[in-house]
């Protein structure tokens, strides 16, 4: 059995996520790997997106700071970055297409917060420009 060959860094990392409605839903900030229960090479299980994932890519003091901010934003003991399971990935091209709308994704939290608390309150936010 031979499948498509990809390079993680070149073809997947840092690419745009696009939801089922064509809306932008974050970047592939990192990828989650798991060794299958039966052993063998690791398999990609999820795309990690958002500040909590990006922080490790950036590293250094800035990365640590970003991670702290991300943890603070999530609140509680939740230390996991936002995950997008490979089960909802539709295709990988110049962007990564998803089969679900972004509201169903963990990556949408910050966007939703900004809309609900700030931008959504300005007059005309709900109408397309004319």
Partner 1 sequence: MRLSDLFGADVVDEAGRSAGHVHDVRLVQDGPLVGTFGASLRVDGLLVGRRSIGARLGYGRGQMHGPLLVKLAVGWLLHDGRYVDWGRVRTVEEDRILISGSVEDLPVPGPSS
Partner 2 sequence: MRRLFSVALGILTAIGGFVDIGDIVANSETGARFGMSLAWVVVVGVIGICLFAEMAGRVATVSGRAVFDLVRERLGARMALVNLVASFFITFLTLAAEIGGVALAIELATSVNYLLWVPIVAFLVWLVVWRVKFDVMENAFGLLGLALVVAAVALWRLGPDWGGLLHGATHPVVPQGEGHPTWWFFGIALLGAAMTPYEVFFFSSGAVEEGWSRGDLITNRLNVYIGFPLGGLLSLALMAGATLFLEPRGIEPGHLSQVALPTLLVLGKLGLAVLLVGFFAATFGAALETGLSCGYSIAQYFGFQWGKFVRPADAPRFHLVVLLSILAGAGLVLTTVDPITVTEYSIVLSAAALPLTYFPILVVANDPDYMGDKVNSRFTNALGSIYLLLLLVVAVATIPLMILTKAGS
Stretch near partner 2 under the rule CB under 8 A, chosen from 15-23, 37-45, 70-78, 81-89: 15-23
Instruction: Give the separation between CA 128 and CA 117, rounded to whole angstroms.
Output: 19
Figure out which of the listed residues 40, 41, 87, 126 binds partner 2, where binding follows CB under 8 A: 126
- Two structure tokens written together for 85: 């399971």
Q: Which does residue 17 bind out of partner 2, partner 1, none, counting CB within 5 to 8 angstroms by kind?
A: partner 2
Least Å distance, CB 86 to partner 1, is 5
Q: How far is the CB of 91 from partner 1 (least distance, A)?
A: 8
Cα radius of gyration rounded to whole Å, the chain: 17
Q: How far is CA 8 from the centre of its chain?
A: 15
Is the Cβ of residue 34 or residue 116 nearer to partner 1 in the bound state? 34
CA distance 49 to 84: 8
DSSP classification of residue 114:
H
Crossing angle for the helix pair 109-117 and 60-74, to the nearest 10 degrees: 60
Report the interface residues with partner 2, using CB under 8 A: 9, 11, 13-17, 23-27, 29, 49, 54, 57-59, 62, 94-95, 110-111, 114-115, 118-120, 122, 124-130
């Amino acid at each position: 059995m031979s499948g498509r060959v990809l390079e993680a860094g070149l073809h997947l990392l840092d690419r745009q996520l696009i939801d089922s409605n064509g809306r932008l839903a974050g970047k592939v900030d990192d990828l989650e790997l798991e060794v299958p229960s039966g052993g063998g090479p690791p398999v990609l299980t999820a795309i990690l997106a958002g500040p909590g994932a990006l922080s490790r890519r950036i590293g250094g003091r800035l990365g640590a700071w970003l991670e702290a901010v991300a943890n603070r934003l999530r609140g509680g003991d939740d230390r996991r970055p936002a995950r997008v399971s490979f089960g909802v990935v539709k295709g990988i091209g110049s962007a990564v297409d998803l089969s679900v709308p972004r509201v169903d994704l963990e990556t949408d939290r910050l966007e939703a917060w900004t809309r609900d608390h700030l931008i959504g309150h300005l007059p005309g936010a709900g109408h397309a420009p004319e």
